[in-house]
Amino acid sequence: MPTSAAVLGVDSSTQSTKTAIVEAHSGRILAVGRAPHAVHGEAGIRESDPESWWEALRASAGAALAESGVAPSTVVGIAVAGQQHGLVVLDAAGRPLRPAMLWNDTRSAPQAIALTEALGGPAAWLERTGSVPVASMTATKWQWLREHEPETAGRTAAVRLPHDFLTERLSGTAATDPGDASGTCWYSTRTRAYDPDLLELIGLDAALLPVVAAGGATRVGSLTVRAAEFLGLRPGIAVAAGTGDNMAAAVGLGLGAEGLLDHPVISLGTSGTVFAATRTRPATAGLAGFAGADSTYLPLGCTLNCTLAVDKVAGLFGLDREDTEPGGQTVMLPYLDGERSPDLPHASGVLTGLRHHTTPQQILGAAYEGAAFSLLRALDDLHAVAGLDPAGPAVRERPLRLIGGGTKGRAWVGTIRRLSGRPLVLPAAGELVASGAAALAAGAAWGDDPVRVATAWGAGRGEELPATERDEAAWHRIEGVLADASGTPRAPGLLRDAR
């Protein structure tokens, strides 16, 4: 590839769009442009106008080009990584019929239960899709739309995921990839295609859906003249299929190059996720059995309440997010938006163990611990899927890769380190989702493997922190409160009054 060539990697997330201009031969990020977009709704409603994503893409790309000084003529490819699961419904002209229902919109929880039962239970869904429907999944949102807004559903000429919507605007081609498609619950990770029985179950015509490309780096088209004028780029550059944000982060880290459970990752963002690349197809309750953006699989656990929930608790007490200390006897389950892992979509926050001497800093620390606990417990499930003992030395001695905005904070890193008892790696590369999208763009431009590209760029390397002794007392306190709050069985030998 020419040393002067650049690619654009787009991270269209829940609350903003970031576009990275990346030097194609080295992976060096030359500039990142940012533009916000609004999320509306309360009491379980989370919606955004898809047109705001398109405008944010223009603003962020323009800012990045201006800051970098890169000549648009040297840009050879673009790829979009988008927030997963969002439901975008379009008219025949490609215009949104209503605001997009986002991944963290929990209104479709009843539809998730009904769909699970309609197919014969969780096992039937796991066999087909690798995942059990929860309110986050796109199929449940489409079913909600059919039941609550049948006129809109009837007028729908196209159904897209957020990254599909943007990719189509760039290339004029209706295309998606296996990674993002695997989060819909109408795509089968077993057959690597849309499942006609599931589409019939939810009353969705396959003709409304985009074509599934072979992988996220597949070139699905070229930048149209109209999109090029809109973005200030030259027409005809490669447009990759793109993928979901979690799949792009995996590419950006170079996951998939090593083995059975490649580089377990915790991502600390608005939501929290745990994932790893595997060669075997995962199918277990409690995890989303996603496909990767390449030929791997990406089992993933997701929590709704991560940095945003903890920042809310800090704000309630007028504290800086770093003004915290361990929770002590105080336990908080910060389920401010319901929760996905564990699957408690209608839950609210729980705070217990308060004493006269409890400080606001300890309550904030308890919020950190509760959020970290949910992620680490999902990580234990992920290891179990791979046939590994979560408590065994082969797991406990293996480093965790910690990514996302939360890694910039001492409190988040310290809490994960203390509750996991595992060594950590903090990758030096910034903007991993955008970097992964840039690797997909490079792959589309030159027909290269994006994981190989990202690995050559030095993906995943960074600061290493040794393990510390695991805080078993805090872990068991939180475990006990969750058992009481959700009605789940307690761990054997766990005392009700854990001290």
**Residues with catalytic annotation?**
245
Query: Which residues have a Cβ under 8 Å from the Cβ of 197 and sit 6 or more positions away?
Result: 128
Q: How far is CA 243 from CA 175, 258, 479, in A?
A: 10, 21, 35
Name which of 62, 56, 68, 73 is nearest 29 in CA terms. 68
Distance in angstroms (rounded) separating the CA atoms of residues 448 and 400: 28
With a CB cutoff of 8 Å and minimum separation 6, the contacts of 177 are 212, 213, 215, 216, 218, 241, 242, 243, 247, 293
Give CA–CA dist 464/395, Å, rounded: 17
Query: CB pairs under 8 A, 24+ apart, for 493-499?
Result: 498/473, 499/329
Which amino acid is present at 353? G
Rounded Cα distance between 227 and 246, Å, is: 26
Report CA-CA distances (Å) from 379 to 115, 134, 274, 400.
26, 19, 6, 10
**Which residue in 460, 34, 50 sits closest to 277, CA to CA?**
460
* CA atoms of 361 and 68, how far apart (whole Å): 41
The H-assigned helical ranges of 24-149 are 50-68, 109-118, 122-129, 138-148
Cβ–Cβ under 8 Å, residues 368 and 310? yes
24 Rama sector, left if φ>0, alpha if ψ -120 to 50, beta otherwise:
alpha
Q: Give just the sign of the alpha carbon dihedral 271, 272, 276, 280.
A: negative
- Which residues face 75 on adjacent strands? 6
H or E stretch at 82: strand 75-82
CA separation (Å) from 333 to 180, 191, 373, 374?
A: 29, 38, 9, 9
Per the CB < 8 A criterion, the answer to whether 171 and 211 are in contact is no
CA atoms of 171 and 97, how far apart (whole Å) = 21
Q: What's the chain's Rg over C-alpha atoms? A: 22
The DSSP symbol for 253 reads T
**For residue 80, what are its two tokens?**
């979009």
